[in-house]
């Protein structure tokens, strides 16, 4: 059994990325388990918080990443780039330099938008930086008009999106 840890770069209660993360268990292969790490308690990166007394949420996040076989970044596109929350997560997980918990993990990047852009700018940006940080991006999924592709029960009603997510998750198997 492989464990894939998902991060949502939006803490908005009705976040589309949160809703997409909730669809993943039903789309994953039988040997892939999806866990979500709640970023709500992770503070902004500050080098003064490194060392012996790291924030509990950071310790928990690093431990969860260390135990995971792969990572999903569900990353909202803010102003053609990542949200501060997504960047903050990457920053914590790449410290100490060269030995961060994220190093060597396979990564799937997902971005969706209610508008027409499909989050392609942010997935391109994340896909560009992660290999430099020692990660292999194994799949990228984008979707525009996401409000039309999820029903009220958070089931994906767009077969193209469902099959792209299925294929992305299968790459972890």
Ligand X SMILES: Cc1cc2nc3c(=O)[nH]c(=O)nc-3n(C[C@H](O)[C@H](O)[C@H](O)COP(=O)(O)O)c2cc1C
Which residue ranges make up the site for ligand X (CB under 6 A)? 10, 12, 15-17, 76-80, 113-115, 117
- At which residue do the structure tokens 């970044």 appear? 73
Nearer to ligand X, 19 or 105 (CB): 19
Residues in the chain: 173
**Which is nearer to ligand X, 29 or 115 (by Cβ)?**
115
Q: Give whichever of 83 and 94 is closer to ligand X, judged by the CB atom.
A: 83
Element (H, E) at 150: none
Task: Yes or no: say if 6 and 34 are a contact pair by the CB < 8 Å rule.
Answer: yes
* Residue 16 Cβ vs ligand X, minimum distance, rounded to whole Å: 4
Q: How far is the CB of 44 from ligand X (least distance, A)?
A: 17
Residue that the structure tokens 């039988």 belong to: 30
| Short-list 170, 143, 160, CA closest to 20 | 143
Widest CA span of the chain, in angstroms? 48
CB 54, CB 43: distance < 8 Å = no
Shortest Å, Cβ 30 to ligand X: 28
**Residue closer to ligand X, measured from CB, 75 or 101:** 75
- Residue closer to ligand X (CB basis): 100 or 119: 119
What's the min distance (Å) between Cβ of 146 and ligand X? 7
Query: CA torsion, points 115, 117, 119, 124, in degrees to nearest 10?
Result: -170
Least gap, CB of 49 to ligand X (angstroms): 26
């Amino acid at each position: 059994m492989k464990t894939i840890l998902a991060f949502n770069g939006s803490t908005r209660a009705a976040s589309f990325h949160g809703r997409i993360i909730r669809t993943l268990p039903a789309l994953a292969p039988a040997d892939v388990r999806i866990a979500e790490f709640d970023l709500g308690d992770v503070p902004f990166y500050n080098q003064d918080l490194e060392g012996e007394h790291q924030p509990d949420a950071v310790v928990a996040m690093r431990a969860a990443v260390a135990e995971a076989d792969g990572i999903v970044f569900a990353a909202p596109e803010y102003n053609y780039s990542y949200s501060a929350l997504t960047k903050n997560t990457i920053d914590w997980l790449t410290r100490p330099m060269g030995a961060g918990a994220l190093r060597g993990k396979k990564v799937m990047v997902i971005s969706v938008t209610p508008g027409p852009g499909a989050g392609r700018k942010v997935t391109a940006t994340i896909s560009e930086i992660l290999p430099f940080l020692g990660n292999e991006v194994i799949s990228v999924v984008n979707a525009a008009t996401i409000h039309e592709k999820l029903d009220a029960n958070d089931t994906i009603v767009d077969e193209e999106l469902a099959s792209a997510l299925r294929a992305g998750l299968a790459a972890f198997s």
